[in-house]
Amino acid sequence: MTSPSDFNQRTIEEFRENHGKVGGPFEGAPLLLLHTLGARSGQHRVHPVMYLADGDRYLVFASKAGADTHPAWYWNLRANPHVKIEVGDLTLDVEASELAEPERTEKYRVQAERYSGFADYERKTDRVIPVVALDPIEQTP
């Protein structure tokens, strides 16, 4: 049996080797690599996550496959919202902010319509699944 960290590492490697494209359960899905600092450890982490493009920003969903707790990356973003993402061959500095209602519900609905797994995740848990916007930060030359 493969550990989640082994699965993530293989996904990260495949993402980088194939310009942001991967197979397996993420095949054909929009995927980015989210770089965070551990909220408690301060260690650099990389998380492959699906996203929804929304204008210039990227929306990520703290679903944790419908678990009753938020994923670690969500807490990392709350503690350190200035992070990097990799999208395709681009690396961007972004600032994370959690969407408020009613926008959160509307954007989650759009994602669940496109990828039915997100509707399943919402049914599996009593918690409200956060939606986090990753807004690119202007870089000064």
Quote the number of domains for the chain: 1
* pLDDT band with cut points at 50, 70 and 90 for residue 26: confident
pLDDT exceeds cutoff 90 at 4:
no
Query: Does this model's pTM top 0.85?
Result: yes
CATH number at residue 73: 2.30.110.10
For residue 141, tell me if it sits in a domain.
Answer: no
**Do 47 and 87 form a contact (C-beta atoms < 8 A)?**
no
How far is 3 from 16, CA to CA, in rounded Å? 20
Distance CA 98, CA 6 (A): 29
Q: 17 in a domain, yes or no?
A: yes
Domain assignment of residue 96, yes or no: yes
Please give the pLDDT value at position 5.
Answer: 74
For the chain, what percent of residues have pLDDT higher than 90? Answer: 83
pLDDT at 121 over 60: yes
- Residue 93: which domain range? 4-136
Contact 132, 77 (CB under 8 A): yes
Can you list the alpha helix ranges (DSSP code H) found in 1-141? Answer: 4-17, 72-79, 103-114, 116-124
Q: Is the peptide bond before 71 cis (omega within 30 degrees of 0)?
A: no
pLDDT tens digits, one per residue of 53-79:
999 999 999 999 999 999 999 999 999
pLDDT band at 31 (very low <50, low <70, confident <90, very high): very high
Residue 130 in contact with residue 74, Cβ under 8 Å?
yes
**Looking at residue 51, what is its pLDDT?**
97
